[in-house]
Amino acid sequence: MALHRLCSPATPQSAMAGPLFQNSSSLVTLHCSGRRPSCHISARVHQERGVASREYLERCLEAGGALDLASSALGQCGMVELAAPTSIDKCHKGSQLKRVVYQGNPGGYSHAVVGEAYAGASAEAVPCVEMEAVFKAVETWVADAALIPIQNNLDGSIHRNYDLLLRHQLHIVGELAWHVNHCLLAHPQASMSNLRRVVGHPQALSHCQNTLALLGLHCVERIEDTAHAAALVGCSPDTALVASSQAASVFGLHLLRTGIQDDGHNTTRFLQLERQPIAAPTSSHVPCKTTIAFALRNGPSDLCRVMAAFALRNIRVSNLESRPAPASIRQMMQAGQSEETTRGEFKYAFVVDIDASMGSQNTLKALRQVQEFCSFYRVLGSYALLGCQKEVKG
């Protein structure tokens, strides 16, 4: 699929100069002029500009392609400038489709997981070039939801995505665990005997090192962009691609092998994000999680007190992350900490998953106790687990 990038600051349609689109090969560039609105502009003007800017982005999306934060209106606009639309029609022109954004290319694993997570729903999957654009697209009402990978049981946590969860105000509304099934794809006329080289995303290749060696594929080339790698394979009968089985149909490639990962239990956790939180599940028959972010008033030494609050109530802590606190959180931390604990340059926030729902009084009591030790505290979500899905082989 051709990549379409959105350029320059988002401004009302009346302020745009020049043609709306200028085609140059596969790149679609949007020309516009004007400055970002002053903080003194009225709320009504902000609202009008927000709706106009959103419609501007909608037209860019209709051209097809991926949202690119570096050159798009998403990178220029703040939440004030892209205010909430006065009706859902302002955002989707009356469409009932649920627009779900993900980082990557069509045919990638995130694209496949969107289809699984929203199976049975009228959903439109929209690729983004950067993960930051995924968050911005939901915050600015360009999309309804996002799906992001957060942890792989072989490679560990995706720290960048935890940092984005702390910096942005989106809510976790669901989780899906995906059994990764790496496949070997090639030119339709290729066979195993004439393969000399294999390409793919660095992470996918690292998961298949032993299997590729057994197949005699020792010449490995790491390519971040799966679409670019697929195009290379499409014109090179001696080159294979490590990717998902869905990529075979998306890029018109032949499926030579399935399940070539070295570890058959390779699993990635994905989170569903939306602008508003959902009601905490109350059924004891539904597996649930609650994710909280916090910073401790007396520093990391108080972490044992937090763990005790859960342990005393038989609440299982399934994951604990420590990340450098972003500037917005550091300011709140300094307001709630003593002079001794505010010294130094290294401030950390924690993200904890517990296997419990906030629909339980037992959980609420534990969380109230945790807040007593915190200079910053936020619930990222209390949500149901969608179970563990396995990609269809072949």
Q: Which residues are catalytic?
A: 268, 270
Which residue has 């401030």 as its token pair?
Answer: 347
DSSP calls for 113-164: HHHHHTTTS-EEEEEESSHHHHHHHHHTTS-SEEEEEEEETTTEE-HHHHHH
Separation of alpha carbons 205 and 213, rounded Å: 11
Separation of alpha carbons 139 and 121, rounded Å: 21
Q: Are 141 and 302 in contact (CB under 8 A)?
A: no
Ranges of beta strands (E only) in 192-309 are 197-200, 220-222, 239-243, 254-257, 267-274, 288-296
Separation of alpha carbons 171 and 274, rounded Å: 5
* Cα angle for residues 181, 183, 188 (degrees, 5° grid): 150
Ranges of beta strands (E only) in the chain are 21-24, 27-30, 98-103, 123-128, 145-152, 156-157, 171-179, 183-186, 197-200, 220-222, 239-243, 254-257, 267-274, 288-296, 317-324, 348-354, 374-390
Q: Which helix or strand (DSSP H or E) is residue 17 part of?
A: none
Helix ranges, 235-360 (H): 245-251, 303-311, 327-336, 339-342
| Residues contacting 223, CB < 8 A, separation 6+ | 199, 200, 201, 229, 232
Separation of alpha carbons 197 and 118, rounded Å: 36
Taking each helix axis from N to C end, the angle separating 361-371 and 303-311, rounded to the nearest 10 degrees, works out to 160
